[in-house]
Amino acid sequence: MNNNELLRQVEERARLWLSPFYDEAIRKEVQRMLDNDNKTELIDSFYKDLEFGTGGLRGVMGAGTNRMNIYTVGAATQGLSDYLKESFAHLPEIKVVIGHDCRNNSRLFAETCAGIFAANGIRALLFEDLRPTPEMSYAIREYGCQSGIILTASHNPPEYNGYKAYWDDGAQLVAPHDEAIIELVKSMKHESILFDGPQELIKPLGEETDLKFIEMVKTISLSPDLVKKYHDIKIVYTPIHGTGVKIVPMALRAFGFTNIINVPEQDVVSGNFPTVVSPNPEEPAAMKMAIEKALEVNADVVMATDPDSDRLGVATRNLKGEFVIINGNQTALLFIYYIITKMKENGALKGNEFIVKTIVSTELITEIARKNHVDYFDVYTGFKYIAEVIRENEGIRKYIGGGEESFGFLPADFVRDKDAVSSIAMMAEIVTWAMSKGKTLYELLMDIYLEYGFSREKTISVTRKGQSGAQEIQQMMTRFRTNPPRKIGGTPVHLLKDYELLVQTDLLTGETTAIDQKTTSNVLQFFTTGGTKISIRPSGTEPKIKFYFEVHDQLKSYEDLESVESSIDSRIDAIVNELGL
């Protein structure tokens, strides 16, 4: 399609949004874009429909088919409503939980969705104010609901919002439900959306749900005696303007911690995230103010949550006494190591326990499980796949923890998505466990490396926006798939895993075997004979392609750390250059 034809089609789609069906603010915004001589914004807003994918919706807010607004959100909700009515026609009443974060328009979108569910005869349990994603997930099962949604764009910049849909187990949608709903949403005409249902079908959820959720969080404690002994450790916590502002301190206090120090500027609930460029605890800039507060008060640990409180960031003092952010692989290692070791100490490991990690997360997690005779599962990126394994093993095996490299962990199965609320409470407990051994959290992490081997990870995200960006990302995947590297960092690549084909190939022998996954995913992995792992995947929620690097070495003592890290960093940098990134 040439540019003139694309512009003609875009303008034709945009003019449909000038009809009286759409509200006045939307019509004015569309007219402004049509009148603008520069058509870039118009094209990006209308060149396609905002895709309701396996992760729901996520995009820039504004007018247009490729934007988050009450009509694109409404189409998703109407499609979900139709599917729920079909799937649960045998029930006397269908119920859905609705939550939202602090983002601009999140409350508007949540109330709009409640009205649509009600108009479809579905009871909407709408949180009275912003709440964390894990609490929404918990509420689905607690109140016997058939579905749930949360309005959030997680850690994306302020111009974004998003919509995630959940099933009756409290987990995000998986096949076949996601595929069926996607088809319904794709064919949904905005004129078919039923807005403004009866208010009597909308029930508010408030403090009573918070208290129930916190009671469940308390049950995950494995060392209440240590918490009691070290209850006054100094914990600096920041919600980065998001939903954790009340519930995370509640969880810490419920565990027994009494010295929680906040960052007042970041306790301000705001979708503009005024103190950060991006509200992502993975990024040092987002943790800067909390670390400055920690230095001021001589804190023991710093913790943060993203806007919807499903991801956690942790900073602790390194061997030099400097506060550093430990990455998502390292937090997952600490959780898994602590849970397994402490359960063994408590005589609670019965032999039927299991953990779950994502395929791009560090292989050291698998090593810990294997050496401790705990079953483990590798799944695709996304906690819905971890939740799927939990559901399939209910009544057979006991879930004790699961995580992914992108700062998400789930320590207990009363939630079925990433849970930073419970995780932060448990991480504070891990700090007390380390203290009881005369160690810092960082030294505990070093002990894991000394016992199980050392790994260093790095993730590079390449952003390519718009239509041309999506094409470029696809071309990159095609190039790596059809012409895989034979050597990486001077070491032969012996294994290629292609999850789109569900085939793994031994590049040294040419032998191929099937990959045991139920569905395909556009992910490539390369494993070298030296233990290096490289994973490549386009993001499912952002215009990015991600490269995950994991390089292994041996750490013999604390004193060797700096030289080992330096050596691995040089190797990773060389690989990055080799791949042309």
Q: So which residues are the catalytic ones?
A: 154
Distance CA 404, CA 312 (A): 11
Beta strands in 445-542 (DSSP E): 454-463, 487-488, 491-498, 503-506, 512-514, 524-528, 533-538
Residue pair 222/343 in contact by the 8 Å Cβ criterion = yes
Find where tokens 């301000």 sit: 268
CA dihedral 43→49→51→52, nearest 10 degrees, is 150
Helix, strand or coil, per DSSP, at residue 465: coil
Of the candidates 152, 85, 159, 142, the one whose C-alpha atom is nearest the C-alpha of residue 117 is 85
Exposure of 19 by Cβ count < 10 A (0-12 exposed, 13-18 middle, 19+ buried)? Answer: exposed
Strands 160-166 and 147-151: what pairing?
Answer: antiparallel
Between the CA of residue 408 and those of 154, 312, 535, what are the distances in Å? 12, 6, 18
Give the other-Cβ count within 10 Å of 413's Cβ.
22
Beta strands in 38-90 (DSSP E): 57-60
Strands 123-127 and 95-100: what pairing?
Answer: parallel
CB neighbour burial string for 247-262, b if at least 16 within 10 angstroms, e if fewer: bbbbbbebbbbeebbb
Exposure of 318 by Cβ count < 10 A (0-12 exposed, 13-18 middle, 19+ buried)? Answer: middle
Distance CA 360, CA 406 (A): 10
Residue pair 319/331 in contact by the 8 Å Cβ criterion = no
